[in-house]
């Protein structure tokens, strides 16, 4: 048996100046959060920002689902996302809310670094959330098939693929 302590969280002020962060709002399923961490590690995401409440503990099922991602993506845990959301804006982060009902597609959006991609749990989406009102932009993923929305971990993978492969805006 091995007893291990949790990895030390980082402070929001430690995010890199040109970083890429994923912000989770009320994503509580440890399998989804683990899958998001694995995807985040694959896309060299600089941090995962989550809340102290309404998020799973970083143990057991989450660690197994992350398959090593937990060791490569620093975690920043905050008490209240809305209170810290402004700090991300002040640090120059483009705050992008992913919502299946967003007014624009992620593919068409003008993105820049640093960027924080906010993902909210399932059925509620971002539309009614207080974070939606303070995002710089709300975007959706246009899915060509019969199913028009993905679970949060799959949406994260598609969004990171699109966001990291888009050319930077000229200027």
Q: In what helix (H) or strand (E) does residue 75 lie, and over which residues does it extend?
A: strand 75-78
CA distances from 85 to 81, 94, 135 (A): 6, 11, 8
Counted residue by residue, the chain has a size of: 171
What is the spatial distance between Cα 160 and Cα 166, in angstroms, rounded to a whole number? 10
Q: What per-residue confidence (pLDDT) applies to 18?
A: 94
Question: Among candidates 117, 85, 66, 119, which has minimal Cα distance to 12?
Answer: 85
Q: In what helix (H) or strand (E) does residue 104 lie, and over which residues does it extend?
A: strand 104-105
CB atoms within 10 A of CB 107: 12
What is the spatial distance between Cα 111 and Cα 121, in angstroms, rounded to a whole number? 23
State pTM to two decimals: 0.87
Rounded average pLDDT per 10-residue block, the chain, 171 residues: 74 93 90 92 95 74 77 88 85 92 92 94 60 84 89 95 80 57
CB atoms within 10 A of CB 163: 20
Query: Residue 140 pairs with which residues in a beta bridge?
Result: 105
Q: What per-residue confidence (pLDDT) applies to 133?
A: 75
Q: What per-residue confidence (pLDDT) applies to 120?
A: 86
What is the spatial distance between Cα 160 and Cα 116, in angstroms, rounded to a whole number? 11
């Amino acid at each position: 048996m091995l007893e291990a302590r949790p990895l030390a969280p980082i402070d929001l002020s430690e995010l890199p100046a040109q970083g890429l962060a994923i912000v989770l709002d009320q994503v509580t399923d440890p399998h989804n959060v683990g899958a998001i961490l694995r995807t985040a590690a694959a896309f060299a995401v600089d941090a995962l920002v989550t809340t102290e409440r309404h998020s799973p503990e970083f143990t057991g099922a989450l660690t197994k689902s992350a398959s090593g991602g937990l060791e490569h993506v620093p975690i920043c845990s905050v008490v209240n996302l809305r209170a810290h959301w402004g700090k991300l804006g002040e640090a120059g982060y483009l705050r992008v809310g992913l919502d299946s009902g967003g007014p624009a597609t992620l593919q068409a959006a003008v993105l820049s670094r640093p960027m924080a991609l906010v993902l909210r749990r399932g059925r509620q989406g971002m539309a009614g959330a207080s974070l939606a009102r303070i995002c710089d932009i709300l975007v959706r993923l246009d899915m060509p098939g019969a199913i028009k929305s993905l679970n949060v971990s799959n949406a994260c993978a598609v969004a990171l693929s699109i966001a990291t492969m888009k050319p930077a805006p000229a200027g």
